Amino acid sequence: MTKLDLLHQHGQSIWYDFIRRDMLTGAGMADLVADGIRGVTSNPSIFEVAIAKSDLYDSQIAALGDVTPVEAFEAVAVDDIRAAADILESVYDESDGEDGYVSLEVSPRLANDTAGTIADGMRLWDTVDRRNLMVKVPATDAGIPAIEELTAAGININATLMFSLDDYEAVAQAFIRGAKRASDPAILASVASFFVSRVDASTDAALDRVGTDQALSLRGKAAIANAKLAYRRYQQIFEGDEFASLEAVGTRPQRVLWASTSTKNPAYRDVMYVEELIGPNTVNTAPPQTIEAFLDHGEIRSGSLTKGVDEAATMINSLPSHGVDFNAITAKLQVDGVKSFSDAYESLLGAISSKQTQVVG
């Protein structure tokens, strides 16, 4: 039994925040599942690294012939997602649909287009054709109604790019509205991806600019405090009366998923965003290096997520008195996150175009 299995005994599933063709052949992904990995997440940045910076996809791109870069990307991405979903189907079955999911994002070009996001989400769901797919939709103003509509259509949703409590509230309520309209809400699975390390990176920079001893003493605390408050709201919504009618017909709660859990500041413990966010009915999607570090020296701090929640609220509420506008920080983080994924997507398409010139001619 690995530490990942022990985490699952404490209510937390570890998903693998990476995908690449070579891990889907041979024993790579199967070995990860044996070690306790219970799902896979992808995003445009991950696919950019996988496709643009390797030759693993060149033969398939060549075989596709004269197609657009968008069509070439979707073809190779869908193949990877299907292969991962097939490997994880055993986890899906064993967990009765709680885990075993693979996430694929709608086009980043649609982040501010509700109708386009709904259409793309439905198309990807039909194209991949795997019951353990999760379609990733950003929690932008345009994405929130799309999350509701796709959920109502019976599609599993991974709501992503959430940084604030307002983001979380909007996503949770969109899931509930959609689930109430779904023909069979008991088959739905959904996660709300709440980003962590980027919150510390931006808040720490603001505290550094303030420069007082009190401000500097708060560095490295905002992200975990913010996450604890989001989880408290999860408990209020999904463990209370608000979700009771859906729970009565077998609907699963929308789990909170901790994303961006690699530590950006080398001065901080490299597994802090795993150790400090362990709680029931949660997911942590971590990149390979963070998972390896946790397996090597991570500590399972049972219930860490529910400890010190009042102190977390006090810490977040104190930031304005130190000259830090936390609401502005989290709002900008979402805008920057959308742009980052969009830039990665456009860079990826450019790289595919170059590969097409080389291998197709």
pLDDT single digits (tens) 56-71: 999 999 999 999 999 9
Query: pLDDT per residue over 134-184, tens digit each?
Result: 999 999 999 999 999 999 999 999 999 999 999 999 999 999 999 999 999
The per-residue pLDDT for range 192-237, each reduced to its tens digit, is 999 999 999 999 999 999 999 999 999 999 999 999 999 999 999 9
Q: Is the model's pLDDT at 360 over the cut of 90? A: no
Residues that are catalytic: 136
357 CB burial (10 A radius; 0-12, 13-18, 19+): exposed
The interaxial angle of helices 143-152 and 114-128, nearest 10 deg, is 40
Average pLDDT score, the chain? 97
Per-residue pLDDT averaged across 265-279, rounded? 97
Q: Let me know the angle formed at the C-alpha of 215 by 324 and 338, rounded to the nearest 5 degrees.
A: 40
DSSP codes joined into one string, 216-270: HTTTT-HHHHHHHHHHHHHHHHHTSGGGHHHHHTTPPP-EEEEE--S-S-TTS-T
Compute CA distances 355 → 76, 285, 324, 327, whole Å: 13, 30, 46, 42
Q: Where are the beta strands (DSSP E) in the chain?
A: 12-16, 39-40, 101-105, 133-138, 157-162, 190-195, 255-259, 282-286
Compute the distance between CA of residue 292 and CA of residue 306 in angstroms, rounded to an integer.
Answer: 25
300 pLDDT above the threshold of 80: yes
Residue 30 and residue 60: Cα distance in Å, rounded?
Answer: 23
Q: What is the band of 361 on the pLDDT scale with cuts at 50, 70, 90?
A: low
CATH T-level topology, domain 3-354: TIM Barrel (3.20.20)
Number of H helices, E strands in the chain: 17, 8
pLDDT over 70, % of the chain: 99
pLDDT band at 26 (very low <50, low <70, confident <90, very high): confident
Q: Three-class SS string for 5-51?
A: HHHHHCCEEEEECCCCHHHHCCCHHHHHHHHCCCEECCCHHHHHHHH
249-265: average pLDDT: 97
Q: Yes or no: say if 19 and 309 are a contact pair by the CB < 8 Å rule.
A: no
Encoded amino acid at 264, one letter: K
pLDDT digits (tens, 9 = 90+) for 37-62: 999 999 999 999 999 899 999 999 99
Domain residue spans of the chain: 3-354
In this prediction, residue 358 carries a pLDDT of 85
Which pLDDT score is estimated for 27? 87
User: What is the distance between the alpha carbons of residues 340 and 333, in angstroms, rounded to a whole number?
Assistant: 10
For the entire predicted model, the pTM comes to 0.97
Question: Does residue 295 surpass a pLDDT of 90?
Answer: yes
| Nearest partner of 222 among 312, 327, 336, 321, judged by Cα | 312
Model confidence pLDDT, tens digit, residues 90-131: 999 999 999 999 999 999 999 999 999 999 999 999 999 999
Nearest to 120 by CA among 132, 131, 104: 104
